[in-house]
Amino acid sequence: MARASNLPVDPARIADVIDGLAALTEPGRPYTRRAFTALFPAGRDFLRDRFQAAGLETRIDAAGNLVARRPGRKPGLGTIMLGSHSDTVPDGGRYDGIAGVAVALEVVRSLADRGIDLDHDLEVVDFLAEEVSIFGVSCIGSRGMAGVLPAEWLSRESGGLTLEQGIRDAGGDPARIAAEARKDIAAFLELHIEQGPVLETEKRDIGVVTAIAGITRIEIVVEGRADHAGTTPMGSRADALAAAARLVTGIEALATSLSKGPAHFTATVGEFSIEPNAANVVPSRARLLIDARAEERATMDGFAASVERMAEAVAHETGTRIATPRRISDNMPTPGDALLLDVLDAACETAGASHRRMASGAGHDTAFMAKVTRAAMIFVPCLGGRSHAPEEFAETDDIALGAAVLLHAVIQLDEKLQKAIQEGA
């Protein structure tokens, strides 16, 4: 790995931002600073102070995102945007999102240190509520910036607060979200901890993210028959739980097989319930919910078709009734922009960072920015692949190397984006 002393960025400044935000946590709950709760504005104030000290112009946009701007030399070329999010999940999140915001600011500082002026405007963004919020939905700020925040979400309520009022309290203007959807962003880049063990295991510095996996959630309901657990012969039952258990193990086996292919795939039965849930009653009903994630849509469609066939077979074998599995949510994969991926590969070489291409199994704000601009991500290693836990940890030098990669990428993009536009690419 490259040594911090050789990097064109300052690891201490990155650590200052990460440590400063980590200190703003609910008492006894490291690291908890959720959007729409009392501590979140303190984190925003901290970031605003750091942005302004770096000479950036700051504002809150209509969707409640904190945006800091460094004007370019050629107005009208568009904006290169960097950033991530500063909100956390409960009880865990020292680096998740926060590293990306700290690195974006460091890129700006490093450009200033070197007297480099870009032709494009450069913006740093702290997206509002990337994590699942108190309103049960995520990526609120990036959806708003992209103009795809569902209007009906504004009426969602938690503890007497609506999302509409929550955005307003964060400084946004819900009535103007659609009107302010961004059309001027020329490219968006996000650094994030991997939240998985691949880079650490392979001793790679950087993951260049080829795609953010599409997420499909499939509900299966098994209808059996309630009977006395002590008197009903084993061969005379329609046990909904026994049938559901076959489905769970079958889904695991199918997902394991698909995961051995060239593209990323996972599937998890993350919700499971039975009725009547009594020790002396044969279960009459079971419900399970599959969370499936695929880098390639064809893999997801094949998985869903296989699950349907599996459900039909299990119903026949167990004497239960299983309705056709229902997709209750279905998001397409988001590929990284080809030009940006090539630029990031080249930037890794310039920074002396070992790297590999890989998919993201987790969702990120980048997926929504990709709806309005070229977008891509890089990953840096995290200890043991742990995330969404107090033990989440990433080395400052690893994050700083990621910052160097983004710095080189931004400098390259400032030139390459103009050529791409001229060539119609």
Per-residue pLDDT tens, the chain, 425 aa: give them. 445 568 999 999 999 999 999 999 999 999 999 999 999 999 999 999 999 999 999 999 999 999 999 999 999 999 999 999 999 999 988 999 999 999 999 999 999 999 999 999 999 999 999 999 999 999 999 999 999 999 999 999 999 999 999 999 999 999 999 999 999 999 999 999 999 999 999 999 999 999 999 999 999 999 999 999 999 999 999 999 999 999 999 999 999 999 999 999 999 999 999 999 999 999 999 999 999 999 999 999 999 999 999 999 999 999 999 999 999 999 999 999 999 999 999 999 999 999 999 999 999 999 999 999 999 999 999 999 999 999 999 999 999 999 999 999 999 999 999 888 777 66
Q: Model pTM?
A: 0.94
DSSP three-state, residue 291:
strand
The answer to whether 10 touches 110, Cβ cutoff 8 Å, is yes
DSSP three-state, residue 386:
coil
Distance CA 341, CA 339 (A): 6
Closest CA to 125 of 82, 173, 86, 79: 82
Instruction: Identify the residue whose tokens are 């046990």.
Output: 239
Which residues neighbour 244 within 8 Å (Cβ) at sequence distance 6 or greater? 220, 222, 272, 274, 286, 288
Which residues neighbour 200 within 8 Å (Cβ) at sequence distance 6 or greater? 194, 381, 382, 383, 384, 385
Which tokens go with 303? 């998985």
Structural element, H or E, at residue 179: none
Which tokens go with 188? 């968006």
Instruction: Identify the residue whose tokens are 């039952």.
Output: 237
Query: How many angstroms separate the most distant Cα atoms in the chain?
Result: 84
